[in-house]
Chain A
Amino acid sequence: MQTSADLLAFLREVRLFTVFAETDLAALAQRLSERTLKKNQVLFREGDPGDEMFLIRRGSVLVSKIIKGRVEQLLNRMSPGEFFGEMSLLDGSPRSATIQAEGEVMLLVLGRKSLNQLTETSPHAAAALFHAMVRVFMERLRLADARLTEATRWGLEATGLDVEPR
């Protein structure tokens, strides 16, 4: 994929890359590929193998985890500028959730091979990327805590479980 001015302009606006120098951003952009999804298309399912991470350029995706059968819990909606799939990219584990396009979606893809090349040829850019990712991870951890608390509240309210002081 050629590094277009549009792509660089888009990457500059992404929170993940706000601290990137122009050269680092250009180095990263060269290693990104594009992928499009149709409406309702599943990119990958929970448990699938994977070694790529994705950055949403257009559209939005749903992040869900199986509860039972065909019922999944909707964990998140991701919109342009947000990324996902980094866990399998970094540790090689199966996908932890299912990603499905809500409408027409365009993604930017960073594969493991490209990430390794980036780390070797542009270590400064790779360090900036990892540093930015860690900050996002912390935000997601806080969000997961809030979601856990809310799930507990939902359970208590739904079952009518008596937990008030006696």
Chain B
Amino acid sequence: MTPREPSSSTERPARPVPAKLELLVRHDDDSFELREIGSSLGFVQSRPQRIRDGAFEISDVQSRVAGEQSSILKNTETERFLLLTEHERFLWELMDGNTSLQEIATAYVLKYGEFDFDIIPNLIRKLQRAQLLTLTPRSRLRKVLARNRRQRLAKAVEATLLGLERINISSRNVHGFFQALYRAGGFLLFTRATVVACVALAVLGTVAQVALLREVADVFSGFGGHAIRGVLLVKLLLFASVALHQFVHGLACVHYGRRVREFGFTFLHGFVPTFYVDVTDIFMASRRARVVTAVSGALVHLVLGALWFIVGANAPMGSFTQAFATASGIIQLQALAVALYPFCFIEMDGYHVFVDLLGVPTLKHDALAYVKALVTGRTRLRRTRLEFLWIGYVLVSALSIAVFIASNVWLIHSAIS
């Protein structure tokens, strides 16, 4: 090892020179040779070892737009997910602890006829962060922290980690609750009878909705002087129905034998209060399971909306009950649309179904990045199917949000005036 001499501030390099290790290797005849091994050489000769079989799951995602195949890789112990491209999946398969990075890179070139010098370091970084390579000593930090509890910083870090762990523990307990709920009757939601009942309710609700909206002015007159209070109450009930929506997602996840990781309350995007359920484990199930899990939660709003419209249609014309039920029905339908409509820049249920069916799981991210680059002149328009999809996604989403805002303004205006 050759410690470098300190460089002057004016000559400081942007990146440090790779470290070197000097070795003395003896021969049989008492002679020897000196070898200088740079860290870069050590890197290409290292043999990355993925975590043991059984500690991860991998599931394929086929793109129907670009024809590319992606994979979702899951660490079953840490519950962390990683999206791998087809090329990264190829590299992952080779990380068996016996194949050096140099051999992996050679295999990559032979397979694809090209080499991206960043792909392997970037993949290794991603895998390390998802704790999918064994060279990350996951528990050593905790051991070090435990040994150094006398130091305030170590104690604070350990306490913080313990606090975070407690949150995770509470989330792990949620699955048992959902299993019990499923056994206690939740399974009925996933029967043919329930599907038929939903369709019947939807038809009846649509009929009632059409009847109510023909006389919308008279219907909303039922709010009288309490329109604001009525609309706030409608929103509050919608908030409660979101919890129900999440429960159904969880039950669907259990129905397909996957784990519900977390259920809770949060502020979506930092300011929208909402309930949420973490059913990302369903990624490892079939496409049908993923679609059913995503759609079933949203159908809660269809059922509630239909029920509210039926209540409104049977209430006395111009009564508060009718106005309240109609507004609630409209809000529930909006919630259904928002949940299932994929073009709104928010990754709701419909978006997940849409990208799953297309096989382009990073659609929003890629579309926004591409359109931004296009607008700022950093890239040119290339007429491929994938790029048309990106442009279409951004345009339709922007238009949809404008329509959504306009319809809400109309709704509030109708209720107040």
Contacts and interface: CB of A to CB of B under 8 A. Distances in A.
Interface string B224-235: 000000000000
Contact of A147 (B3, B16, B128): B3
B3 A143 contact: yes
B43 interface: yes
A157 B15 CA distance: 12
Nearest to A42: B30
B125 A162 contact: yes
A160 B39 CA distance: 9
A29 to B, nearest CB: 33
A74 interface: yes
Contacts of B30: 40, 42
Interface stretch (B20-28, B178-186, B326-334): B20-28
B2 interface: yes
Contact of A151 (B1, B25, B136): B1
A64 interface: yes
A71 B32 CA distance: 10
A88 to B, nearest CB: 21
Contacts of A147: 1, 3
Given A100-B32, A150-B1, A160 B22 contact: no
Contact of B22 (A73, A143, A155): A73
Given A100-B32, A150-B4, A158-B39, A73 B23 contact: yes
Contacts of A71: 23-26
Contact of B24 (A72, A153, A159): A72
Contacts of A154: 1, 19-21, 39, 42
Interface in A45-67: 62, 64, 67
B31 interface: yes
A160 B121 contact: yes
Contact of B23 (A40, A42, A72, A158): A72
B23 A67 contact: yes
Interface residues of B, number: 33
B39 A153 contact: yes
Contacts of B1: 73-75, 147, 150-151, 154
Contacts of B21: 73, 151, 154
B22 A74 contact: yes
A154 B4 CA distance: 12
A143 B124 CA distance: 33
B135 interface: yes
Nearest to B135: A159
**Size bracket, chain A contacts:** 20 to 34
A160 B43 contact: yes
A118 B350 CA distance: 91
A161 interface: yes
B188 to A, nearest CB: 44
B125 A64 contact: no
A73 B43 contact: no
Nearest to B31: A40
Contacts of B18: 157
Contacts of B23: 67, 71-74
Nearest to B4: A150
A102 B382 CA distance: 64
B40 A157 contact: yes
B166 interface: no
A146 interface: yes
Nearest to A157: B39
B31 A160 contact: no
Given A100-B32, A157-B42, A159-B43, A64 B24 contact: yes
A158 B24 contact: no
Given A62-B24, A150-B1, 9 more contacts: A40-B30, A42-B30, A72-B25, A72-B26, A73-B23, A74-B34, A153-B16, A161-B136, A162-B128
6 contacts: A73-B21, A153-B16, A153-B19, A154-B42, A155-B39, A160-B121
Interface of B: 1-4, 16, 18-27, 30-32, 34, 39-43, 46, 48, 121, 124-125, 128-129, 135-136
